[in-house]
């Protein structure tokens, strides 16, 4: 390969790694400062996936250009593949079980969006989003939703 | 470049540990631990490149998989008090 292509690829790898660094630090700050479990889970999950994508792609370019070893690049892509499956699955399981255990999400004013932990459990078990769960606990919203 | 990545990862690991120690609920701690595991996986990979020996990538691969299995196992254990239980149990609802 000509020289300027190598320089260009190395620069691209630098840029990707730096974007990954920004994602990582933003995720850490978000995990520390956001007010509620679900928002923190958003910060952690999104930046874990994003930073992994950018950093591993940067390292793939370095492995191909500098080390010229396709096996290293293959291993990095394998790590990327597994991480793209496992991180969102972990976030989903955490959010679902937190809701199932009765942890109510809060809105932007810091007030809980549901009346009771029991409603949160009900919301976790239904396949529909929030609507219909602000009403009374005993209202059979699930039947109406299922019929329509 | 790799030094910057290592420093960013180390700083974020400190923030994540602070959240894991502070976290009001169990799930905060678990999400912090899961995030910390992802950071360690990235750290192993970047550190291998920093020292010029990318053979550490196997360890990073195994670490990412074990991190996932461990998080799901701990979640399941705390929810059902049992790692062997199957579906949602009747007396929960």
Non-local (6+) Cβ contacts of B22 within 8 A are B28
CB < 8 Å to B45, chain A: 55-56, 59, 76, 79
Structural element, H or E, at residue A107: none
Q: Where are the domains of chain A?
A: 3-100, 106-148
* ipTM of model: 0.83
* Closest C-alpha among A140, A79, A32, A41 to residue B17: A32
Q: In the structure, what pLDDT confidence band is assigned to residue A112 with cuts at 50, 70 and 90?
A: confident
Cβ–Cβ contact B64 with A under 8 A: yes
Pairs of residues, one from chain A and one from chain B, whose beta carbons lie less than 8 Å apart: 133
By CB atoms closer than 10 A (0-12, 13-18, 19+), residue A124 is middle
Q: What pLDDT digit, counting tens, does each position of B58-72 carry? A: 999 999 999 999 998
Residue of B nearest to A36 (CA): B28
This prediction has a pTM of: 0.82
Q: Do A41 and B31 touch (CB under 8 A)?
A: yes
């Amino acid at each position: 390969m000509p020289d300027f292509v190598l320089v260009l690829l190395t620069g691209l790898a630098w840029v990707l790694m730096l974007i990954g660094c920004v994602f990582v630090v933003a995720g850490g700050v978000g995990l520390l400062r956001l007010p509620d479990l679900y928002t923190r889970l958003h910060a952690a999950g999104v930046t874990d996936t994003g930073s992994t994508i950018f950093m591993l792609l940067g390292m793939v370019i370095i492995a191909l250009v500098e080390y010229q070893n396709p096996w290293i690049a293959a291993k990095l892509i394998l790590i990327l593949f597994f991480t793209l499956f496992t991180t969102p699955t972990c976030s989903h399981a955490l959010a679902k079980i937190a809701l199932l255990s009765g942890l109510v999400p809060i809105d932007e004013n810091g007030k809980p969006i549901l009346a009771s932990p029991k409603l949160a459990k009900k919301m976790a078990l239904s396949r529909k989003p929030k609507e219909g769960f602000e009403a009374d606990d005993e209202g059979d919203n699930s039947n109406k939703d299922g019929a329509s | 470049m790799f030094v910057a990545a290592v420093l960013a990862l180390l700083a974020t690991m400190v923030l994540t540990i602070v959240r894991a120690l502070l976290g009001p609920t169990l799930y905060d701690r678990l999400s912090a631990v899961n995030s910390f595991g992802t950071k360690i996986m990235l750290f192993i990979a970047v550190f291998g490149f920093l020292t010029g020996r990318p053979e550490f990538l196997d360890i990073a691969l195994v670490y990412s998989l074990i991190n996932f299995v461990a998080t799901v196992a701990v979640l399941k254990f705390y929810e059902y008090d049992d790692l062997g239980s199957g579906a949602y149990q009747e007396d929960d609802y």
